[in-house]
A = this chain, B = another copy of it.
Amino acid sequence: MTRWLDPDEQHTWRAFLAASRALMDTLDRELQRDAGMPHAYYEILVRLSEAPERRLRMSELADTTGSSRSRLSHAVARLEAAGWVRREDCPTDRRGQLALLTDEGFATLAAAAPGHVEGVRRHLFDPLSPAQVDQLRRISEALTDHLSRP
């Protein structure tokens, strides 16, 4: 009783797969080349830079970046080794850890941001009409909505 994909659906699925993979690969490669870090690490720095006092609980950081706790642990270990992030004990929960963005990390982020934003604009927004950008937002929200249900 499999609900197979008809040729149109097949086409759509493969087009989406190819496009999102090509986009992510391109941005990842650009960021690695220009800033020496993968996109996932860039995102961690961004979230920290937006947090009050540039610090966040590990679990909040994991949630907002959509990554597992394990992945975040490894990532923060690397970012700490690079001098871009520091860890601190959480004052209200002795299990907790805070990750905080160092000045050096902020500077690195500030240096990487213009190039990356330019890449996002060139590869994502420029090829789409304003209507399509709007459609993409609604589509993405619908998918996320559905995926984050029980």
> For chain A, which range describes its interface: under 10, 10 to 19, 20 to 34, or 35 or more residues?
35 or more
Interface residues of A in 102-142 (CB under 8 A from B): 113-114, 117-118, 120-121, 123-128, 132-142
A132 to B20, CA, bound (A): 16
Closest chain-B Cβ to A141's Cβ sits at a distance in Å of 6
B137 contacts A12, C-beta separation under 8 Å: yes
- Take A4-B117, A124-B13 as given contacts and tell me if A139 and B135 are in contact as well, using a CB distance cutoff of 8 Å: yes
A19 to B137, CA, bound (A): 10
**Interface class of chain A by DSSP:** helix
Q: Which residue of B lies closest to A1 (CB)?
A: B114
Which residue of B2, B20, B24, B125 contacts A117 across the interface (Cβ within 8 Å)?
B2
Note all chain B residues with C-beta closer than 8 A to A18.
66, 140, 144
